[in-house]
Structure 1
Amino acid sequence: MHQFANRRARLVEHMRSNGGGVAVIPTAREGLRNGDVEYPFRHDSYFYYLSGFEELDALIVLAVDPSPGARAQCILFCREKDPETELWHGFRHGPEGARAVFGFDAAFPITTLEQRMPALLAGAPALYFCLGQDAGWDARVASWLHALRGQARSGVRPPAAIYDVQLLLNEMRVVKDGSELASMRRAADISAEAHVRAMRRTRPGMTEYQIEAELLHAFRHHGAAGPAYPSIVAAGANTCVLHHNPGATVLQPGDLVLIDAGCEYESYAADITRTYPAAGKFSGTQKMLYEIVLAAQMAAIAEVKPGSRFIDPHEAAVRLLAQGMLDTGLLDKNKYGSVNDVIENGDYRRFFMCKTSHWLGLDVHDVGDYGEAVEGGSVAAGRPSRILQAGMTMTVEPGIYIRPAPDVPEQYWHIGIRIEDDVLVTANGHDVLSHGAPKTIAEIERCLER
């Protein structure tokens, strides 16, 4: 559990350098699904990043005195041991067990939170909390501050400033440590296995939801918690719907199948997309368009390295996609002087309407600013793109999505292709974590051999 203590120590140092204060980081709330049945609980990512604690009804408090030599207090509030409740809902650590296992200085029952928090906040230089994320927690924090203001004549004062603690944590989370990368590698390996399983079992006549079931089997069979996000399984025309939910659409022999799916392993996400022919062989048109997207992705991945801008992979992908759109007649060559005109006009967005990358980590669309950070963790207006550094993890996912239109050759209608990999920035370049999922036409058709 040392990695969690190390992260808390880093946050404490950030707070100390800013004058100290008290940070309050709650875990997620349990959500009601319907009736008296809850959704499976999933902890808050910020809370887990600092604690490793997966139980509900918990909160972290970091009390940081900026005085030289003063020691910060890292406190956990959680549920007490309760044999009767544990019989129904499973093991609880309890405050003392959690303190010992997860390395906190102190731990208290969550039921004592209202009693203890005003005293912890009294006289603190600042409060570090994320306002506006949860109305219930906003109200509780406001009540603590109100209670302190009511004691002003006794010399008690509330924190003089409130800072968004997530801005500090975002900057920490965007660069992964060794423990995080080990979990992400395993998540990518399991997800690649799931894609291979789905490919090998695909047959015309199957439904999208049957293919989704193959993914779910592989995720759980290999020890993942389940999907890191709702899986996308799309066949035929549905491949042109970027976030299509798997349904009862039946795969036809000439269809492409697009799967965007990744598992969550030890709370970390993978995010992989592969596109392949339902019947095992790409048609000539499908192959031509697939090669354009693959070339765009390879060019983008080549730009993932220390010193590159975050936007560089996107720009590399767009250039090859735009040229491919001209070469195939998706865009009229007579209208443009060069591929630069297509890019400057943004006309490529008709067939590729999204960005090429996003951060990946505890959340599938992970936190971290995409622009250049300036002093204090804030971001300048009109900022340039962020510079990549070792330890950052991102997706690279160009695509092409062609809906029917009078000026689009009919042979391209209803073809959607996306290729997505999870890529780590290393000291010397990059590492494709999701390399286990077949990607070239030869690899895919070999995997699909009947």
Structure 2
Amino acid sequence: MMDYAGRRARLAAQLPPGAVAVLMTAPEALRNGDSDYPYRHDSYFYYLTGFGEPESALVLVAAAGATPARSILFCREKNPEREIWDGYRHGPEGARTACGVDAAHPIADLDAQMGTLLADAPALYWATGADHAFDARVNGWVKAVRAQARSGVTAPDTFRNLLPLIDEMRLVKDADEQALMLRAGVISGQAHARALRAARAGVFEYELEAELLYEFRRNGAQFPAYTPIVASGPNACVLHYNANDRRTRDGDLVLIDAGCELDGYAADITRTFPVNGRFTPPQRTLYELVLAAQQAAFEAIAPGRPYAAFHEAALRVLAQGMLDLGLIPAGKYAGVDEAIAARAHLPFYMHGTGHWLGMDVHDVGAYRDLQLPDKPSRLLRPGMALTVEPGIYVRPGEGVPEQFWHIGIRIEDDVIVTDDGYRVLTATAPKTVDEIEALAGKAQPAGA
């Protein structure tokens, strides 16, 4: 059970005495005609409330003297007629009980209530710059309070972005979050295994995507955490390819980057495998190079180590392999350090080795220590969650060994930093050459 009240209390404790913070959830989004996209809450709002209804806002008032901190939720009113069409609504009273807030009001009352809540408040925090229309709304609240100056009421004179404070909180996952992310990782790993079993030459990329989505949903995941990438043959060298409409050919590698979202938390896995179940020698050579790079990255993850260390470890392995295999001309550089300094690896490895993971697939939090003058890579702490995803992408080109053309490989797992190292959350996804070749094409019976 997530401790939403505890999160609100910790956030309020970081605000100046009497300060007010306001946070809106995400709006509903029209898809076309009178059809909306499936609704997905705002991650920041949900992190503090666990409340999934649209048209909602949270207001926090920090403690001041003997007056304790307060949390106030604004949401849709009960509407029996709309509930027939759209489903259950908590209404303010139900939401107050469900979320454990101090008070709840109809969302239509937000503007009027903010005029009262901001009176004599020294500071106002919100997601500044995220929504220009909401910024203008906030400005209207402040102007309304300033208009009461003759009555002795003062308006806030300090305005701050609320999100960086929540970013730092979200960056370290508690035990409940870690357990949920592990479950999301297990489901996603099972989905990758299912797609691998369904692989065969001639299958369309979207057929493999369907296997993933089926496994996500049948295990209770609400959404894919992002649009799945199912990239076969040359498509695997396109980093964000997601058309997923090509028919695979014998000899292709298939790169699948997909993870589910479970109760608001994302998994993010990439696996690459031969669609016919057998790696060719060049494919296997590059695959084992990427696998070795990932292992080197894992070994660089521990509390107190810089975030950048695991990317640097993977890059050294990849760059050395590129030199050894002739992808980078060895005679042009004195060694791996000089090749990396010259960025000679970029044609074949052009992205970082990971990112934060959590409620968003590219989760919040700074990668550098912004409190220090030179802003070094921040140090890892237990509870941080990140992906580890080295890759190699070989497009045809002058001087590029032809046996490697059109090979795109990425291997990605999710990890939690622990007290003494790391824990892999996505181990259910087959990864070694032997595991992949043993499982590929061995589809389960229909419905399994």
- Using the size of structure 1 for normalisation, the TM-score is 0.97
1:85-96 mapped onto 2 (5 Å cutoff):
85-96=82-93
1:5 corresponds in structure 2 to 5
Contact 1:212 1:246 in 2 (8 A): no
Out of 138, 141, 145, which is 2:138 matched to?
Answer: 141
Separation in structure 2 between the aligned mates of residue 303 and residue 66 of structure 1, nearest angstrom = 45
Separation in structure 1 between the aligned mates of residue 243 and residue 189 of structure 2, nearest angstrom = 19
1:40 aligns with 2:32: no
Inter-CA distance 436–313: structure 2 relative to 1 (3 Å threshold): same
Separation in structure 2 between the aligned mates of residue 33 and residue 97 of structure 1, nearest angstrom = 30
1:55-74 mapped onto 2 (5 Å cutoff):
55-67=53-65, 69-74=66-71
1:108 aligns with 2:105: yes
2:14 corresponds in structure 1 to 14
Separation in structure 2 between the aligned mates of residue 66 and residue 445 of structure 1, nearest angstrom = 64
SS at match of 2:120: coil
Separation in structure 2 between the aligned mates of residue 2 and residue 227 of structure 1, nearest angstrom = 22
1:9-408 mapped onto 2 (5 Å cutoff):
9-15=9-15, 18-67=16-65, 69-374=66-371, 380=372, 382-408=374-400
Q: In the TM superposition, what is the alpha-carbon distance from 1:302 to its structure 2 partner?
A: 1.1
Contact 2:55 2:107 in 1 (8 A): yes
The superposition leaves residues 146-198 of structure 1 with CA deviations (integer Å, 9 ceiling, x where unpaired) of 11122222222211101111010000000001111111011101000100000
Q: In the TM superposition, what is the alpha-carbon distance from 1:20 to its structure 2 partner?
A: 4.0
Separation in structure 2 between the aligned mates of residue 330 and residue 345 of structure 1, nearest angstrom = 14
Q: In the TM superposition, what is the alpha-carbon distance from 1:70 to its structure 2 partner?
A: 2.2
Separation in structure 2 between the aligned mates of residue 357 and residue 287 of structure 1, nearest angstrom = 23
SS at match of 2:78: coil
Contact 2:145 2:154 in 1 (8 A): yes
Contact 2:62 2:69 in 1 (8 A): yes
Which amino acid counterpart does residue 384 of structure 2 have in structure 1?
A: M
Separation in structure 1 between the aligned mates of residue 437 and residue 196 of structure 2, nearest angstrom = 10
SS at match of 2:14: helix
Contact 2:303 2:421 in 1 (8 A): yes
1:428 aligns with 2:426: no
Contact 2:2 2:177 in 1 (8 A): no
SS at match of 1:395: strand
1:438 corresponds in structure 2 to 430
Q: In the TM superposition, what is the alpha-carbon distance from 1:381 to its structure 2 partner?
A: 5.4
SS at match of 2:64: coil
The superposition leaves residues 207-239 of structure 1 with CA deviations (integer Å, 9 ceiling, x where unpaired) of 111111111100001100020000000000000
Separation in structure 2 between the aligned mates of residue 248 and residue 429 of structure 1, nearest angstrom = 40
Q: What is the percentage of aligned positions where both structures have the same residue? A: 55
Q: In the TM superposition, what is the alpha-carbon distance from 1:130 to its structure 2 partner?
A: 1.2
Separation in structure 1 between the aligned mates of residue 269 and residue 373 of structure 2, nearest angstrom = 33
Q: What CA RMSD, in Å, does the superposition of the two structures yield over aligned residues?
A: 1.1
Separation in structure 1 between the aligned mates of residue 361 and residue 181 of structure 2, nearest angstrom = 11
The superposition leaves residues 400-428 of structure 1 with CA deviations (integer Å, 9 ceiling, x where unpaired) of 00111011011111000000000100011
Separation in structure 2 between the aligned mates of residue 274 and residue 420 of structure 1, nearest angstrom = 7
The count of corresponding residues between Structure 1 and Structure 2 is 442
Separation in structure 2 between the aligned mates of residue 19 and residue 88 of structure 1, nearest angstrom = 44
- Using the size of structure 2 for normalisation, the TM-score is 0.97
2:445 corresponds in structure 1 to none
The superposition leaves residues 330-388 of structure 1 with CA deviations (integer Å, 9 ceiling, x where unpaired) of 011110111110111111111100110100000000001100142xxxxx554100100
Contact 2:307 2:379 in 1 (8 A): yes
Contact 1:304 1:313 in 2 (8 A): yes
Separation in structure 2 between the aligned mates of residue 305 and residue 219 of structure 1, nearest angstrom = 31
Separation in structure 2 between the aligned mates of residue 434 and residue 348 of structure 1, nearest angstrom = 28
Which amino acid counterpart does residue 180 of structure 1 have in structure 2?
A: E
Which amino acid counterpart does residue 430 of structure 2 have in structure 1?
A: P
Q: In the TM superposition, what is the alpha-carbon distance from 1:101 to its structure 2 partner?
A: 1.4
Contact 1:127 1:163 in 2 (8 A): yes
Contact 2:282 2:404 in 1 (8 A): yes
Separation in structure 2 between the aligned mates of residue 155 and residue 382 of structure 1, nearest angstrom = 45
Can you give the 5+ residue segments of structure 1 that lack an aligned partner in the other structure? 375-379
Separation in structure 2 between the aligned mates of residue 102 and residue 46 of structure 1, nearest angstrom = 15
Contact 2:415 2:424 in 1 (8 A): yes
Separation in structure 2 between the aligned mates of residue 153 and residue 20 of structure 1, nearest angstrom = 21
Separation in structure 2 between the aligned mates of residue 178 and residue 99 of structure 1, nearest angstrom = 25
1:377 corresponds in structure 2 to none
Contact 2:357 2:385 in 1 (8 A): yes
The superposition leaves residues 40-69 of structure 1 with CA deviations (integer Å, 9 ceiling, x where unpaired) of 1100000000000000000000011332x3
Q: In the TM superposition, what is the alpha-carbon distance from 1:115 to its structure 2 partner?
A: 1.2
SS at match of 1:349: coil
Separation in structure 2 between the aligned mates of residue 70 and residue 447 of structure 1, nearest angstrom = 62
SS at match of 2:139: helix
Separation in structure 2 between the aligned mates of residue 427 and residue 10 of structure 1, nearest angstrom = 23
Which amino acid counterpart does residue 42 of structure 1 have in structure 2?
A: R
Which amino acid counterpart does residue 41 of structure 2 have in structure 1?
A: H
Contact 2:41 2:54 in 1 (8 A): yes
Give every structure 1 segment of 4 or more consecutive aligned residues whose post-TM-superposition deviation is greater than 4 Å: none
Separation in structure 2 between the aligned mates of residue 420 and residue 45 of structure 1, nearest angstrom = 23
Which amino acid counterpart does residue 56 of structure 1 have in structure 2?
A: P
SS at match of 2:345: helix
Which amino acid counterpart does residue 350 of structure 2 have in structure 1?
A: M
